[in-house]
């Protein structure tokens, strides 16, 4: 069973506070605030959506600044690549490694296909692409039962 749209739609989750925690917490000065956590069946860790982008090769190199040099990392992207791949399997990432010209090398593709752009956004994506630019879907991890091989979602 797929996760219903209302379970991940911004309006339902944030404006209608579909899974908003009923608690009220207090700051050190005694001012009340909401903890900004969401509760649902299975607890608040069962609802998850995140963009999980890989760092690029150039992110590991030295960078000159006006005040001096930010040093090179003691390892490179290639050293982390197997860990990125394992994490993408664990987090069931949806993406397309071939569609982004800045995407670094992958030892395997994302485990699930990219999430399509929303219909309202698709004309904008097409207009940007016509200007010789490369809009692409972000690699996303979503809580969806159909993607969970264990059926535990």
User: How far apart, in whole angstroms, are the C-alpha atoms of residue 59 and residue 28?
Assistant: 38
pTM reported for the whole predicted model: 0.62
Q: Using one digit for the tens of pLDDT, what is the confidence trace for 40-58? A: 555 555 456 688 999 999 9
Q: Using one digit for the tens of pLDDT, what is the confidence trace for 59-82? A: 999 999 999 999 999 999 999 999
Joined together, the tokens standing for residue 105 give 């090398």
Contact 54, 84 (CB under 8 A): yes
- DSSP H/E element including 126: helix 122-129
Ranges 21-25, 69-73, 126-130: which has the least confidence: 21-25
Of the candidates 81, 83, 77, which has an alpha carbon nearest to the alpha carbon of residue 59? 77
Domain borders along the chain are 1-44, 48-153
User: How far apart, in whole angstroms, are the C-alpha atoms of residue 24 and residue 30?
Assistant: 11
Q: Using one digit for the tens of pLDDT, what is the confidence trace for 116-125? A: 888 999 999 9
Contact 11, 105 (CB under 8 A): no
- The strand pair at 140-142 and 93-94 is best described as antiparallel
């Amino acid at each position: 069973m797929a996760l219903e749209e209302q379970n991940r739609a911004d309006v339902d989750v944030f404006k209608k506070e579909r899974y908003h925690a009923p608690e009220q917490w207090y700051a050190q000065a005694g001012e009340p605030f909401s903890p900004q956590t969401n509760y649902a069946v299975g607890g608040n860790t069962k609802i998850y959506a995140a963009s999980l982008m890989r760092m690029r090769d150039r992110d590991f190199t030295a960078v000159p600044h006006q005040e001096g040099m930010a040093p090179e990392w003691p390892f490179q992207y290639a050293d982390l690549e197997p860990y990125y791949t394992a994490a993408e399997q664990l987090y069931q990432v949806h993406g397309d490694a071939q569609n982004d010209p800045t995407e670094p090398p992958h030892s395997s593709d994302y485990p699930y296909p990219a999430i399509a752009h929303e219909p309202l956004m698709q004309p904008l994506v097409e207009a940007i692409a016509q200007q010789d630019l490369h809009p692409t879907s972000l690699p996303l991890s979503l809580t969806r039962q159909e993607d969970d091989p264990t059926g535990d979602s």
